[in-house]
Amino acid sequence: METPIRQRMSGNEAVSEAIRQVNPDVMPAFPITPSTEIPQMVSTFIANGQVDTEFIPVESEHSAMSAAIGSEAAGARTMTATSSAGLALMWEELLLAASNRLPITLTLVNRTLSGPININCDHSDGMGARDTGWIQIYAENNQEVYDNYIQAFPIAEDKRVHLPIMICQDGFITSHAVENIELLPDAPVKAFVGDYEPEEYLLNPGKPIAIGPYSISAYAMEAKKAQAVAMENAREVILEVAERFYQMSGRRYGFFESYRMEDAEYCMLLIGSAAGTAKEAVDELREQGIKAGVLKIRVFRPFPEKEIAEALSGCKAVAIMDRVESYNGCCGPLGSEVTAGLYRNKVMLEAVCYTYGLAGRDFTTTHVKEIFGDLKALVEEGKPIPHNQYIGLRTRS
């Protein structure tokens, strides 16, 4: 286990430090709040001679992902960073990166998608891209986004996977807030990530290939199936890389984190920085004798359906929290996938979906305790709960 280097950093600084340690070959990027600091910091590392990454300034995020596809296809380890409308502008290229099986790493600093125009955090950008074929890993805090970023490369570049990956963190909440974190020394990080050695690439002399050719109907479905198999393979690789990372750092990761779930009767399931708020409230509820717990989802793609169902199998009720509106009149993406997974795995419990934190709306320990109170009343008194409530919504009353 490596001796940690204790620092105080924002989430953006932590990611930038990880980029410096990995030293990728190419970084095309276009600025957009709140991810702008990341390419700024990396360009400073380049100017100071701390990395030899080739930085490509482009005219838009669509061009940034286009350049990333080109450089990765040529055999260069490539990463970029964006947020919100920047990810939306990359939309066409996200699908191409995945279908061409290019292990690009993208740092996504989650920010609400317009409109109305807003620069604060929710998950509408990342969740909007959930079905583009990218692996998605979310972080609760600055330490996790640093750790997740280092793990991203060996996951995406594994021969069983070869898919692009998004490392996500909550805009401003973690990206700009400063926390105590533990960095790893440069040499072990570089050894952990290793060199990128693709089997096929455009600039391989004497072995010409085509990237992104037209696929006729007789072959396109097979290509999609191959992507799906690679995403399934990523499940095993994510856990293998997490175990290697634990051996190096002492910090353990999986598909999700279970907090006080050993005997929990009531659970809150959510993604990102709000998990810290939920944990604080659960500690207070435990002191009152209420068996509450938190399931914090880390890996959203591939979706760990069976593992989540098993983790919830001992509970009486779960509140599923989405930081995005799906406009389906029912629930958000997390609510849809978790409830479907519970049904398919024959785990029957009360499941109530909530929407919270849109465009940066506050989510507090009081909200968490109220939700747990609702779950308890539902189970013990049969008191119905309105489905898909907006937490903290301002109303005329």
DSSP state of 78: B
For CA atoms 388, 311, 150, 175, give the dihedral sign. positive
Using pLDDT thresholds of 50, 70 and 90, give the confidence band for residue 162: very high
Judged on CB neighbours under 10 Å (0-12, 13-18, 19+), 117 is exposed
Mean pLDDT of 293-314: 98
DSSP one-letter string for 268-329: EEEESTHHHHHHHHHHHHHHTT--EEEEEE-EEES--HHHHHHHHTT-SEEEEEESS--SSS
User: What is the distance between the alpha carbons of residues 2 and 244, in angstroms, rounded to a whole number?
Assistant: 12
Looking at residue 1, its pLDDT comes to 84
Using pLDDT thresholds of 50, 70 and 90, give the confidence band for residue 397: low
Percent of the chain with pLDDT over 90: 95
Tens-place pLDDT, residues 11-28 = 999 999 999 999 999 999
Domain 5-249 shares a fold with domain 256-390? yes
Q: At residue 118, does pLDDT exceed 90? A: yes
Using pLDDT thresholds of 50, 70 and 90, give the confidence band for residue 213: confident
Tens-place pLDDT, residues 90-117 = 999 999 999 999 999 999 999 999 989 9
Q: For the structural domain made of 256-390, what CATH number should be given?
A: 3.40.50.920
Mean pLDDT of 208-223: 92
Residue type, 150: I
User: What is the distance between the alpha carbons of residues 240 and 230, in angstroms, rounded to a whole number?
Assistant: 15
User: What is the distance between the alpha carbons of residues 27 and 44, in angstroms, rounded to a whole number?
Assistant: 13
Tens-place pLDDT, residues 130-142 = 999 999 999 999 9
Looking at residue 206, its pLDDT comes to 84
Mean pLDDT of 234-256: 98
pTM for this model (two decimals): 0.97
Looking at residue 351, its pLDDT comes to 97
Tens-place pLDDT, residues 17-62 = 999 999 999 999 999 999 999 999 999 999 999 999 999 999 999 9
Q: Which CATH architecture has domain 5-249?
A: 3-Layer(aba) Sandwich (3.40)
Domain boundaries, the chain: 5-249, 256-390
CB count within 10 Å of CB 97 equals: 27
User: What is the distance between the alpha carbons of residues 142 and 139, in angstroms, rounded to a whole number?
Assistant: 8
Tens-place pLDDT, residues 330-382 = 999 999 999 999 999 999 999 999 999 999 999 999 999 999 999 999 999 99
For CA atoms 388, 362, 278, 302, give the dihedral sign. positive
